[in-house]
């Protein structure tokens, strides 16, 4: 596929429009509606939207007031009210289906949410210079999900125009950044007939022209929010009458970082957001920690999770406080299957614009695409997480992140041809 001409212009405009309207997890109202607009113009056999693509149990869903604020913001930005209404309760995302006769069922997973980062307005930052900087101040596409979604649409176009025999399902997954969307999408039923699954990410410290056929080294992860509650008192007059929630929080933080490392592999812990108290002369009644644990395997993450839960409870008890722990997002480890890695490598070798191919690389982070990968693999299918390199200033999750738009063309070419080859060869 060439992105010179009308196709290029349409997909570039889509990517830039999504970039202008970044939305965090479970609030991707504009993003989903915009994608639905694009997908309804295609000759799809099925288009499932919102509640139809997610299992009932979801983590980390904002309260109704916040959801309503983002719904109305999306409509004000031009999102169709009828589509936004279908996403009630933050049921965002979509699954697009092409059926092209007898053959394997292939899935492609792309994510659609953004990050709580204020985008650079410097003249050297291309989105600012060319007029597609974020219009949702304080949020931006700082990880390339706008490009991922655009590649998903482009792959549908390319496969529809090919001689592919089989079924293609493209999963436009919400809430990846909070590790919350992959699990309910994997349990929606739409993965149950998928025999081959490809998941996409751009960049990951790989330049434009480089492709990683199979990413491994996912750290299984669990996010939590612990809320400590105690009792206020005058800090000078009667401190003994109080129950200090911040003291419990501080004890928990210190001991979270003291969890013993494990000889079976890498483990991580981080108290990333903490707070509490109301004034310097009041014994604090409330405090909180938002944190995470990770492990090189799912079992190592669970080892860390068990220790963290015990530490949070013990710290509260030590200081005569209570604690409530909410688990906000989780993802298992994952591994790309060799047979599918071989197909992606072979396709990449024949794709213009690619000058470097790595069969495998380690992510060193976490990704809830592993839920979808595991679902397919447990049913006897194959999965691979594919990285398409992109030149990006600043790095992922920074105010100056941007995507080299040539990456979109390369991603479409590699993934669509891989899907077509799976249809012919069924590895």
Cα–Cα nearest to 94, from 109, 81, 105 = 109
Do 68 and 158 touch, CB atoms closer than 8 A?
no
What is the distance, to the nearest Å, from the Cα of residue 83 to the centroid of all Cα atoms in its chain? Answer: 22
Q: Model's pTM, two decimal places?
A: 0.91
Question: Range(s) for CATH 3.40.630.10 in the chain?
Answer: 6-218+333-425
**Sequence-ordered strand ranges (E) for 112-266:** 166-173, 196-202, 210-216, 220-229
Q: How far apart (Å, rounded) are the C-alpha atoms in residues 35 and 416?
A: 19
Give the per-residue pLDDT at 115. Answer: 98
Give the per-residue pLDDT at 359. Answer: 96
Q: Which CATH superfamily is domain 6-218+333-425 in?
A: Zn peptidases (3.40.630.10)
Residue 154 sits at φ, ψ, to 5 deg, of -65, -35
pLDDT by residue for the chain (427 residues), tens digit each?
444 445 788 999 999 999 999 999 999 999 999 999 999 999 999 999 999 999 999 999 999 999 999 999 999 999 999 999 999 999 999 999 999 999 999 999 999 999 999 999 999 999 999 999 999 999 999 999 999 999 999 999 999 999 999 999 999 999 999 999 999 999 999 999 999 999 999 999 999 999 999 999 889 999 999 999 999 999 999 999 999 999 999 999 999 999 999 999 999 999 999 999 999 999 999 999 999 999 999 999 999 999 999 999 999 999 999 999 998 888 998 999 999 999 999 999 999 999 999 999 988 788 999 999 999 999 999 999 999 999 988 899 999 999 999 999 999 999 999 999 999 998 8
Domain 220-330 grouped into CATH 3.30.70.360? yes
Give the per-residue pLDDT at 363. Answer: 83
| Residue 276 falls in which region: left (phi positive, over 0), alpha (psi -120 to 50) or beta | left
By CB neighbour count within 10 A (0-12 exposed, 13-18 middle, 19+ buried), where does 267 fall?
A: buried
Q: Which pair of tokens denotes residue 36?
A: 């639905």
Question: Range(s) for CATH 3.30.70.360 in the chain?
Answer: 220-330
Residue position matching structure tokens 């109301």: 278
Q: Which pair of tokens denotes residue 33?
A: 């509606």
Q: Which strand (E) or helix (H) includes residue 13?
A: helix 6-20
Give the per-residue pLDDT at 182. Answer: 96
Q: How far apart (Å, rounded) are the C-alpha atoms in residues 268 and 287?
A: 23
Q: How far apart (Å, rounded) are the C-alpha atoms in residues 18 and 72?
A: 17
Give the per-residue pLDDT at 5. Answer: 46
Q: Which pair of tokens denotes residue 318?
A: 């030590």
């Amino acid at each position: 596929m060439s992105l010179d001409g009308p196709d290029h212009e349409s997909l570039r405009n889509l990517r830039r429009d999504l970039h202008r309207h970044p939305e965090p997890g479970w609030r991707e109202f504009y993003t989903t509606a915009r994608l639905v607009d694009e997908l309804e113009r295609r000759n799809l056999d099925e288009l499932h939207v919102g509640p139809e693509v997610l299992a009932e149990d979801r983590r980390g869903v904002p309260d109704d007031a916040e959801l309503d604020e983002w719904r109305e913001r999306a409509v004000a930005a031009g999102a169709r009210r009828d589509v936004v209404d279908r996403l009630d309760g933050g049921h965002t995302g979509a699954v697009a289906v092409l059926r092209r006769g007898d053959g394997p069922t292939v899935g492609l997973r792309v994510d659609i949410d953004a990050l709580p980062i204020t985008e650079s307005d410097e003249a050297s930052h291309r989105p600012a210079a060319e007029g597609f900087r974020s219009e949702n101040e304080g949020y931006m596409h700082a990880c390339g999900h706008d490009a991922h979604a655009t590649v998903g649409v482009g792959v549908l176009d390319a496969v529809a125009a090919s001689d592919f025999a089989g079924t293609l399902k493209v999963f436009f997954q919400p809430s990846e950044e909070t590790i919350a969307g992959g699990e309910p999408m994997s349990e929606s039923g739409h993965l149950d007939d998928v025999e081959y699954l490809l998941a996409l990410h751009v960049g990951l410290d790989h330049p434009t022209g480089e492709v990683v056929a199979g990413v491994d080294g996912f750290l299984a992860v669990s996010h939590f929010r612990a809320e400590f509650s105690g009792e206020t008192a005058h800090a000078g007059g009667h401190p003994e009458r109080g129950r200090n929630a911040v003291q419990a929080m501080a004890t928990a933080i210190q001991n979270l970082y003291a969890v013993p490392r494990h000889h079976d592999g890498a483990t991580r812990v981080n108290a990333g957001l903490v707070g509490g108290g109301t004034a310097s002369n009041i014994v604090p009644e409330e405090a909180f920690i938002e944190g995470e644990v990770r492990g090189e395997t799912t079992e190592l993450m669970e080892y860390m999770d068990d220790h963290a839960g015990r530490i949070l409870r013990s710290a509260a008890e030590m200081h005569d406080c209570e604690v409530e722990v909410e688990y906000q997002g989780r993802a298992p480890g994952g591994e790309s299957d060799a047979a599918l890695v071989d197909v992606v490598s072979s396709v990449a070798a024949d794709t213009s614009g690619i000058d470097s191919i790595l069969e495998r690389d380690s992510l060193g982070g976490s990704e809830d695409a592993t839920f979808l990968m595991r679902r397919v693999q447990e049913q006897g299918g194959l999965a691979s997480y594919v990285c398409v390199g992109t030149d990006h200033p600043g790095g992922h999750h920074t105010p100056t992140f941007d995507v080299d738009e040539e990456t979109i063309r390369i991603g479409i070419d590699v993934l669509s041809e891989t899907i077509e080859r799976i249809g012919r060869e069924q590895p």
